[in-house]
A and B are shown apart, each in its own frame.
Chain A
Amino acid sequence: AQSVTQLDSQVPVFEEAPVELRCNYSSSVSVYLFWYVQYPNQGLQLLLKYLSGSTLVKGINGFEAEFNKSQTSFHLRKPSVHISDTAEYFCAVSPDAGGTSYGKLTFGQGTILTVHP
């Protein structure tokens, strides 16, 4: 089984400041890692994902995340945020192999990022 912990439920920042949204996971098997974003009154959209290879993953809208296997973390970062980045961000994992959990996403509780002018 997998579990995901997003350490901050809310993160307020000022425009053009850097931001880091923290995510830690627990799993008995190897996993793939994802960050999704949900803008107000919209559906979930994939920001980025780590499947294999380089541990630094770049996504859309200037976001990036780094997979740290030893710390079981996948923190999301952006060097300079915009008002339009205000949204809820979800970290998720899925097993990387077959079996009954194939492809199933386990989500964290979400982090609400609010960017102030």
Chain B
Amino acid sequence: DIVMTQSPDSLAVSPGERATINCKSSQSLLYDSNNKNYLAWYQKKPGQPPKLLMYWASTRQSGVPDRFSGGGSATDFTLTISSLQAEDVAVYYCQQYYSSVTFGQGTTVEIK
């Protein structure tokens, strides 16, 4: 099984500042034949279903603000919120779909 580990578990960022979440996989998520990283990011708010933010590690889902960006390759990935807004307070999960599906443990983002 592929294990996904996120860091930090939580972070507090001032409004307008940058928030960066890391996600590390226990094996490479880069599929050589298509040069794609099989990684997605979700935003989860209480009482709501998860919302897809990014897929293929760096492709923004339609309707997601461009302050969200994804990067990285193989085993190390990041989700960056360039200018944190109050509505971005949530738990963020990375998820691999290279082999079956596994989620990271989640990172809580709060306003400082």
- State whether these chains interact: no
Question: Which residues on A are within 8 Å of B, measured CB to CB?
Answer: none
